[in-house]
Chains A and B, each alone.
Chain A
Amino acid sequence: MDTRLSDLLAALPAEDRAEEIFDSEGAQERLKAIFADLAYRPVPVHSLHRLWTLSELSVQITLAYMSLWFRQLTADAETRQQRAMETNLRVALKMVHRLGYLRGAATKLGQALGALPEVMPRQIASTLDMLHFQAPPMHFSLLREAVRNELGKDPIEVFATFDKEPFAAASIGQVHRATLKSGQAVAVKIQYPGIARAVEADLRNLMALMFPMRLTRQWESAKEQCRAIQEMLHQELDYVREAQNMREADALFAPEEGIVIPRVFDEVSTARILTTEFIPGLQLNDFLASDPPQSLRDSFGEKIARIYYRMCFASLNYGDPHSGNFVFMDHGRLGLLDFGCVQHFSSQEREVFPLVEAFVDDPTLLPKVLLDGGFATEADLTNEDFMKVFEQYWSWFAEPERFDGAFDFGDESFFKRGIERTRDVLLKGYTAGAPMYVYLSRSFFGHRALLLRLRSCFNERALYRQEVATRLAREGKG
């Protein structure tokens, strides 16, 4: 199938006809065509069910879709249409199930939804529940030939030592420990052959499947969001881009700040292989199991918050702050891994930062922030309920930034309040906005969830102000 997503997007009618699209014969035909195409795919047999070692990317794809699905589900209250939507969603999920490497995503998503069952219609949750995923690694022969394809030599020739067993699953491949001939310990991330192109092709199909399902008024913004997601995924598949992200991020932190971003070894890296410095340390679970003192919990939490603000303000938003990407090192240093999901903002998008800063200082500026930031229309501002929901949501966001003194992120009721308020925004379909918010909100929630698990307590207000000052200094406005 050679159809490009951009062609499909261009061919779609304008937003006021969105409902017709859903019912139109054209949409039905398009769906049929997609499924006819899928019918040619091999049906998974036995171990093929568990072929792919994939997690992060798939989770990202699915979560990103979810943000769209949420809106589809909630933007139109009419029951008949909602039911039709759920049916289509189930169809889409079955399709996800057949695309081997997305299955892991579906499972993780199912687990996430298990925690928030009231957000999703019950049927959808139960469909997700039935999906299972367990992935064996690429065996060494396949891996060796994949490396030979990329670097022209066997891994045992390229490296001084090379562990045959992977030590971690990567988004679309796996990670092996190795040593360079210089003696440097490294982590080598290797993609499953052909997966990048397969993911992109399937993504086009999934996108095409989703478009007839669109019912909301916010058609244009959905298109933009899809473009943003596509761009992010494209980046995830290309390790050259990821290496570039790592170098840019590394330049943002001074050594004394104790934030460690692994060095990239270009001579043994390609678009499909990424060789980086190995970062020794503990994963979050092991760190917590070691019963760390409060002071260490606080300082690590502070580093996580600093990473979030520093990178976000530098237009390198760390889009996937889940615990597996953080390494708790010795001497209180924090290592940061996986830069495949880094969001770059346009100069226009960056204009939202001063607005948010103004709001943190002065809550009465909310309407202006919402309007100028593209979160709301003039009409929304006169909608009392809309304003109430957003007031609560944004106040939650700004609460630690406004609190004078050490803020306790370990307070579960605080985090729960955030979830409830986010749910209100989602359920009411108030989530229109620029594409940047898909990942921005995820990274924001992700880092606060980490602070909760760490039970960190520190002065976020002071940290936030320092980071704003750093941003202004970088932009020459300090």
Chain B
Amino acid sequence: MRITAEAKTATRERIIEVAARLFTKEGWENTTTRGIAVAAGIATGTLFNYFESKEAIVAALISEALERAEEEIQKRDDESLEEELFTFIWTELASLREYRKFLAAAAETILSPLRRYARKSPGDSIRTNHLEAVEQILAAHGVPAPVPTVTMQLYWTLYLGVFGHWATDDSPKQEDTMALLDQTLKLFIAALPRSGGDTHGHQIK
């Protein structure tokens, strides 16, 4: 029996939805792929056809949020680099808002800056996709390519800091993270190489 593309997409969506519910209810650590498969009414083996691990499910959630963020900045046309980066990151975070409870724990393993990067791990794809989107935004605002590796590493470090703050932020509607993001982006932009050939970038004092 052939499984249609629609059915595949539906199953994939169901797995993500069920997993997100379980992560929220049972906690990140206590949820297993087996438990997710049972709750989704599929065999564990079937689940592995879609996701190799629970980390991969979270990575899918995050990449969906990333897509929404990319769509959002397409809709807004007249923004400065700072504004566009702000919209990009905040839209991503806002669309993950309902998952905050388990994302803090999940991010510790998936996005930890201390983890070893392995080829094709879910964390790496999140990082790569995110940084590609950011490089496109930078290019659109005249930041000369290629952006120095150290600059992108700085961005990623700052982003993880904001993400970590957001995941555990108990201020109303994460307003503290909103302020932190605003200040963080000012810091990042101050560290960007300026167009006009200053390839050494600017020193961060």
Which A residues are in CB contact (< 8 Å) with B171?
A: 194, 197
A142 interfacial by beta-carbon distance below 8 Å? yes
Judge whether A47 and B179 touch: CB under 8 Å: no
CB distance from B205 to the nearest CB of A (A): 6
A139 interfacial by beta-carbon distance below 8 Å? yes
A140 interfacial by beta-carbon distance below 8 Å? yes
The answer for the CA separation of A180 and B182 in the assembled complex, in Å, is 28
CB distance from B134 to the nearest CB of A (A): 15
Which B residues are in CB contact (< 8 Å) with A149?
A: 172-173, 175, 178
CB distance from B141 to the nearest CB of A (A): 13
A408 interfacial by beta-carbon distance below 8 Å? no
A472 interfacial by beta-carbon distance below 8 Å? no
Judge whether A141 and B173 touch: CB under 8 Å: no
Assuming the contacts A141-B83, A194-B171, asked whether A46 and B182 have C-beta atoms less than 8 A apart, the reply is no
Which A residues are in CB contact (< 8 Å) with B83?
A: 139-142
B187 interfacial by beta-carbon distance below 8 Å? yes
B156 interfacial by beta-carbon distance below 8 Å? no
Interface segment, B9-17, B50-58, B84-92, B106-114?
Answer: B84-92
Which B residues are in CB contact (< 8 Å) with A194?
A: 171, 175-176, 178-179
A145 interfacial by beta-carbon distance below 8 Å? yes
Q: Which of A47, A140, A193 has the most CB of B within 10 A?
A: A193
Interface of A is mostly: helix
B139 interfacial by beta-carbon distance below 8 Å? no
Q: Which of A45, A139, A142, A195 contacts B205 (CB 8 A)?
A: A45
The answer for the CA separation of A421 and B186 in the assembled complex, in Å, is 48
A51 interfacial by beta-carbon distance below 8 Å? yes
What does the 1/0 interface line of A103-144 toward B look like (CB < 8 Å)? 000000000000000000000000000000000001111100
What does the 1/0 interface line of B74-115 toward A look like (CB < 8 Å)? 001001101110110010001000000000000000000000
CB distance from B56 to the nearest CB of A (A): 30
CB distance from A159 to the nearest CB of B (A): 17
Which B residues are in CB contact (< 8 Å) with A141?
A: 76, 79, 82-84, 86-87, 90
A48 interfacial by beta-carbon distance below 8 Å? yes
Judge whether B79 and A140 touch: CB under 8 Å: yes
What residue of chain B has the Cβ atom nearest to residue A192's Cβ? Answer: B179
CB distance from B67 to the nearest CB of A (A): 19
The answer for the CA separation of A48 and B189 in the assembled complex, in Å, is 11
The answer for the CA separation of A192 and B181 in the assembled complex, in Å, is 12
Which B residues are in CB contact (< 8 Å) with A183?
A: none
Which A residues are in CB contact (< 8 Å) with B187?
A: 45-46, 48
A146 interfacial by beta-carbon distance below 8 Å? yes
CB distance from B77 to the nearest CB of A (A): 12
Judge whether A51 and B183 touch: CB under 8 Å: yes
What residue of chain B has the Cβ atom nearest to residue A149's Cβ? Answer: B173
- B140-181 interface with A by 8 A CB criterion: 171-173, 175-176, 178-179
The answer for the CA separation of A389 and B179 in the assembled complex, in Å, is 49
Which A residues are in CB contact (< 8 Å) with B205?
A: 45-46
B38 interfacial by beta-carbon distance below 8 Å? no
Judge whether A142 and B186 touch: CB under 8 Å: no
A476 interfacial by beta-carbon distance below 8 Å? no
Assuming the contacts A141-B83, A145-B90, asked whether A193 and B186 have C-beta atoms less than 8 A apart, the reply is no
The answer for the CA separation of A297 and B190 in the assembled complex, in Å, is 49
Judge whether B175 and A193 touch: CB under 8 Å: yes
A42 interfacial by beta-carbon distance below 8 Å? yes
What residue of chain B has the Cβ atom nearest to residue A197's Cβ? Answer: B171
Which B residues are in CB contact (< 8 Å) with A192?
A: 179
The answer for the CA separation of A195 and B87 in the assembled complex, in Å, is 20
Q: Which of A45, A46, A193 contacts B179 (CB 8 A)?
A: A193
Assuming the contacts A141-B86, A141-B87, A149-B173, asked whether A48 and B183 have C-beta atoms less than 8 A apart, the reply is yes
Which A residues are in CB contact (< 8 Å) with B173?
A: 149
Judge whether B80 and A139 touch: CB under 8 Å: yes
Assuming the contacts A139-B80, A145-B90, A194-B171, asked whether A42 and B178 have C-beta atoms less than 8 A apart, the reply is no
The answer for the CA separation of A141 and B84 in the assembled complex, in Å, is 8
CB distance from A161 to the nearest CB of B (A): 16
B204 interfacial by beta-carbon distance below 8 Å? yes
What residue of chain B has the Cβ atom nearest to residue A139's Cβ? Answer: B83
- A13-63 interface with B by 8 A CB criterion: 42, 45-48, 51
**19 A-B contacts (beta carbon < 8 Å):** A46-B186, A47-B186, A51-B183, A139-B82, A139-B83, A140-B83, A141-B79, A141-B83, A141-B84, A141-B86, A142-B86, A145-B87, A145-B90, A149-B172, A149-B178, A192-B179, A194-B175, A197-B171, A198-B179
Nearest first, the 3 A-B pairs at minimum CB distance are A141-B83, A193-B175, A193-B178
Listed in ascending order, the chain A residues whose CB lies under 8 Å from chain B are 42, 45-48, 51, 138-142, 145-146, 149, 192-195, 197-198
Listed in ascending order, the chain B residues whose CB lies under 8 Å from chain A are 76, 79-80, 82-84, 86-87, 90, 94, 171-173, 175-176, 178-179, 182-183, 186-187, 190, 204-205
Given contacts A47-B190, A48-B186, A146-B175, 11 further A-B contacts (CB under 8 A): A45-B186, A48-B187, A139-B79, A139-B80, A140-B79, A145-B90, A145-B178, A149-B172, A193-B176, A194-B176, A197-B176
